[in-house]
Amino acid sequence: MEGPTFNTVGGETGLKMTYNSQQQEQKGLKASYFPDLSHNGEISPQQEPVLVRTEPQVNVDWGLGSPFAPALPQDYFVARWEGYFQAPETGTYQFAGVHDDRLRVWVNGNSVYDQGCCSDVNWGVAGNVSLTAGQRVPIKVELAEVTHSAFLRLFVRTTEGNVKAQVVPADWLHSSDLPVLPKGWTLSADLDGTGTTFTEAKVTDQNVVLTDGTGAKHTWTKKSTGGYTPPDGEEGVLALDSAGRITLTYGSEVFVFNAQGKLVSQTGAIDSRKPATLQYVYDGAPSRLKEIKDPVSGRSQRLHYNRPGDDCYGGTTPPAHVDPLPPAQMLCRIVYWDGSQSKLFYSRGQLSRFEDPGQEITDFGFNTYGLLDNLRDSRAIDWVSADCANRCNTDHSNYMVHYWDVTATKPWCVRSSSRRRAQKNAGTTRTGTSRRRRRPMWTLRGSTRSAGSTASSSMTTLSACCPRRTPPAR
């Protein structure tokens, strides 16, 4: 989906959204391992870890050995896990552990557990943290190993008892804060009109992983001689400075990411040192892109989210068939330089409707696996509205997405029904409205979906819209 655009010194700019059914949610915590040079369990901010990786849980037992020999000694080291904890229920949470040696836990920047060697689960020294269901908060865990055995199992519970004492499950631990859009969707800014953009950067010990505007990953590998090697088939130069800021020169574009991995600017290589560079403005916690500004023309695009102090829908009432508000922290409105707006409406946590200026509406439907399986664009909505009694409760005006294997999330085909094609060929237009039509942008990979699958009723109803054939060998 693509909103209005405007021209700048560097080219055309605008916001777009793409959907990728195979996009994976970033689960797990960043684990960093340090030699304890001072033998006191404290790590200097200037000290670099010898190993950084993502681990699904804080549940380790190294016995008498080292997590990463020979770079890390078997005694006197510190293991640190950082990321986000998402509360499954509303309640007063406590964290504790079975550990050897010292364990410290911080939640939302506050110390909630600090106990020396060695301990079984001891709730008596655990602090309290009040969280609501679905709330995601920063968590940091440190284990300082001295000598002999080294192990840790991190436990959680609520004092109310609705979350029983247990090792923190992997599904409650995340690499990033609450997303801007539901799973599968990526929001990106096409700053030069080419469609090439990167939205996020993630630094690990041996590589930097960039996410592009479609949700695909590009891994740059650290070289022993310094610098990074681009992925096969790609060219560019990537640099990481001492403050954690990443600069990528990719073709004629320069991308700059802050230490949190957020894109702060995208410019043409020639224009990167000039004041015409578009400006990204972030604010809030979690950090959100608030505005994209063109310093030359003064035009901007402002983004609104479902968060405290923000105005989600600008006083308008959402349609009856959607939720009153999006999930917490998700994008709900984009205001353009001329006062026009795009609005995003949600249903049961999924994006249900995208409304562009001039009531250019696109509706989305999802199957029981949370995968996009049908779409109705603005022209089809016009056709349905002309005879709602006979057309509103039918999928005949929809594009349908079929999956051979819903667990693999790979779409097989995207088809419209015969009525939808007939309506399209008839050239139906919206009366009294003139504007550029936009077609949905898809990222559909692989070959996939059997006519016999019954993932959802809408998919079953129109399963014949894709040709019956033997699926490709997998």
Higher pLDDT, 265 or 22: 22
Q: Are residues 395 and 445 in the same domain?
A: yes
What pLDDT is recorded for position 161? Answer: 97
Residue 364 located in a structural domain: no
Q: Above 90 in pLDDT, residue 280? A: no
What pLDDT is recorded for position 332? Answer: 96
Closest-CA residue to 386 (of 426, 419, 337, 430): 430
Picking from 155, 174, 193, the residue at the C-terminal end of a domain is 174
Q: Are residues 415 and 344 in the same domain?
A: no
Higher pLDDT, 160 or 2: 160
Q: Are residues 112 and 202 in the same domain?
A: no
Q: Are residues 266 and 376 in the same domain?
A: no
Q: Are residues 403 and 256 in the same domain?
A: no
Residue 391 located in a structural domain: yes
Please give the residue range of the domain that contains residue 459. 369-474
What pLDDT is recorded for position 397? Answer: 79
Picking from 146, 174, 202, the residue at the C-terminal end of a domain is 174
Q: Are residues 148 and 194 in the same domain?
A: no
Q: What is the pTM of this model?
A: 0.69
Task: Using a pLDDT cut of 90, give the percent of the chain over it.
Answer: 46
Q: Are residues 215 and 328 in the same domain?
A: yes
- Cα distances (Å, whole numbers) of residue 84 to 52, 137, 178, 309: 17, 5, 9, 23
Say which range, 54-58, 136-140, 442-446, has the weakest mean pLDDT. 442-446
What pLDDT is recorded for position 71? Answer: 93
Residue 90 located in a structural domain: yes
CATH of the domain at 65: 3.90.182.10
Picking from 123, 147, 174, the residue at the C-terminal end of a domain is 174
* Dihedral sign computed on CA atoms, order 290, 294, 300, 301: negative
pLDDT digits (tens, 9 = 90+) for 292-336: 888 888 899 999 999 999 999 999 999 999 999 999 999 999 999
Q: Are residues 195 and 138 in the same domain?
A: no
What pLDDT is recorded for position 10? Answer: 60
Residue 238 located in a structural domain: yes
Closest-CA residue to 265 (of 244, 281, 251): 281
Question: For the chain, how many structural domains are there in total?
Answer: 3
What pLDDT is recorded for position 269? Answer: 61
- Cα distances (Å, whole numbers) of residue 32 to 37, 53, 82, 267: 15, 7, 8, 33
Q: Above 90 in pLDDT, residue 154? A: yes
Give Cβ neighbours of residue 419 (< 8 Å, ≥ 6 apart). 396, 397
CA 216 – CA 24 distance, rounded (Å)? 10
Q: Which residues pair with 375 in a beta bridge?
A: 364, 399
What's the average model confidence in pLDDT over 346-355? Answer: 94
In a 13 Å sphere around the CA of 64, the CA atoms on its Cβ side amount to 1
Locate 337 and state its tokens. 């330089």
Residue 236 located in a structural domain: yes
CA 421 – CA 109 distance, rounded (Å)? 56
CA 316 – CA 312 distance, rounded (Å)? 9
pLDDT digits (tens, 9 = 90+) for 28-42: 999 999 999 999 999
Q: Are residues 46 and 68 in the same domain?
A: yes
CA 385 – CA 319 distance, rounded (Å)? 15
Burial class (CB in 10 A: 0-12, 13-18, 19+), 326: buried
Radius of gyration of the chain (CA): 25
Q: Are residues 269 and 348 in the same domain?
A: yes
Eight-class DSSP state of 378: H
Is residue 107 helix, strand or coil?
A: strand
* Dihedral sign computed on CA atoms, order 205, 207, 210, 214: negative
CA 27 – CA 30 distance, rounded (Å)? 10
With beta carbons less than 8 A apart as the criterion, state whether 207 and 220 touch: yes
If phi over 0 gives left and psi between -120 and 50 gives alpha, with beta otherwise, what is residue 422? alpha
Is residue 464 helix, strand or coil?
A: helix
